[in-house]
């Protein structure tokens, strides 16, 4: 047996103590004054005959992140015609650019235009 196989088999042995490093990643909900790490986790030793554990977690106690607003929520689609000579220049600039380069160019041009009219400060 190689050293790697021996180390792997030793790691796969079921430990009787809980893995403390796992609990470091849990965030306690706001307002929870209970200092017990296992407050929302109940384990059952006799869940199955094959030594698997059943874990019940209080999902209401886990904080939920607010979703990021997408481009469809922050921008509006407008269709317009661009002269062919200008379209070729735009395509050259955005061909190797990052995603959203065309949107950035169009927004910068419209912003510059409306600043020159004094409608944006």
- Is residue 66 in a domain? no
Judgement on whether residues 8 and 55 belong to the same structural domain of the protein: yes
Where in the sequence is the domain holding 75, given as residue range(s)? 71-116
Sign of dihedral through CA atoms 103, 109, 110, 114? positive
| Percent of the chain scoring above 90 in pLDDT | 26
pLDDT in tens, 80-119: 999 999 999 989 888 888 888 899 999 999 999 999 999 9
Query: Are residues 10 and 53 both part of a single domain?
Result: yes
Mean pLDDT across the chain: 76
Q: Please provide the DSSP assignment of 29-94 as one string.
A: PTT-----TTTTEEEETTS-TTS--EEEE-GGGS--PPPPPPHHHH---------HHHHHHHHHHH
Confirm whether 33 is domain-assigned.
yes
Taking residues 40-55, what's their average pLDDT? 58
Higher pLDDT: 37 or 10? It is: 10
**In whole angstroms, what is the distance from residue 48 CA to residue 13 CA?**
18
List the single range of 8-12, 16-20, 47-51 with lowest mean pLDDT: 47-51
- Asked if residue 109 belongs to a domain, the reply is yes
Q: Are residues 56 and 87 in the same domain?
A: no
Q: How many domains does the chain have?
A: 2
This prediction's pTM: 0.43
Residue 121 lies in a domain: no
Q: Tell me whether residue 88 is in a domain.
A: yes
Q: Looking at the structure, do residues 56 and 97 belong to the same domain, yes or no?
A: no
């Amino acid at each position: 047996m190689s050293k790697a196989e021996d180390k792997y088999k030793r790691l796969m042995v079921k430990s009787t103590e809980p893995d403390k490093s796992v609990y470091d990643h849990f965030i306690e909900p706001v307002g929870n004054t209970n200092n017990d790490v296992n407050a929302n986790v109940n384990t059952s030793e006799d869940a199955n005959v094959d030594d698997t554990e059943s874990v019940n977690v209080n999902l209401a106690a886990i904080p939920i992140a607010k979703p990021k607003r997408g481009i469809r929520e922050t921008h509006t689609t407008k269709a317009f015609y661009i002269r062919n000579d200008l379209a070729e220049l735009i395509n050259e600039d955005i061909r190797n650019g990052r995603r959203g380069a065309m949107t950035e160019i169009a927004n910068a041009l419209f912003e510059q235009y409306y600043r020159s009219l004094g409608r944006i400060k």
